[in-house]
Amino acid sequence: MSTPEAVVLDLGDVVIRWEPHRAIAAAVGEEEAHRFLRAEDFDFHAWNHEQDAGRPWTEAEALASRTHPHWREHVLGYRANFALAVEHPVPGTAAIVEELHRERVPLFGLTNWSAELFPVARAQHRFLTLFDDIVVSGEERLAKPDPGIFEVLAARIGRPLERCVYVDDSVPNVEAGARAGVDAITFTDADQLRTDLRSRGLPV
């Protein structure tokens, strides 16, 4: 196996923890946040995925408020307090990012993230400036595991995906990456990631 020419990292729960409960709880309290995220009549993750795919937040909030008025305060609280949801880095991964950057390994991000909310993450985490480029799903109006976003990635990184390694915590996204031709790794923690990257000859 040849050493990859570039490393592509998912961001949410690989580099930055995504903790929606913290944002929602700031608006409605801990118990209500738990109740909302476990609700059988509202799929928060599916609803949020539409914003990752480019739906405007005002449209999404208006729709949810109309169809599920009993969850309106919870829905609005998420975006209002979003900074709390992405406040913490995943332990150990930022150090790997810094090491790869120091060793001049081309480094890219491929993230499912609302275009409107991604600037919050950029403001909070300076290590994001170490990436050569970050493909944000909301900006492209394509969200993983849609194969189209891997076509966008290939164009942005300027090299065949077969020469890169891609890391994501979502198995469907990893499988989509593998189908697109990239060497795809399922993220579990930073120690295992370091082992996986070293096995491919990368200097971490």
Size of the chain, expressed as the number of residues it contains: 204
Rounded Cα gap, residues 129 and 111, in angstroms = 15
Rounded to two decimals, the pTM is 0.95
Tell me if 181 is assigned to some domain. Answer: yes
Residues 97 and 187 in one domain: yes
33, 61, 85 - which closes a domain: 85
Give residue 155's domain range: 6-17+87-199
Helices 72-80 and 30-37 sit at what angle, rounded to 10 degrees?
110
Q: What is the CATH number of the domain that holds 110?
A: 3.40.50.1000
pLDDT the model gives residue 2: 87
pLDDT digits (tens), the chain, 204 positions: 689 999 999 999 999 999 999 999 999 999 999 999 999 999 999 999 999 999 999 999 999 999 999 999 999 999 999 999 999 999 999 999 999 999 999 999 999 999 999 999 999 999 999 999 999 999 999 999 999 999 999 999 999 999 999 999 999 999 999 999 999 999 999 999 999 999 999 999
Tell me if 1 is assigned to some domain. Answer: no
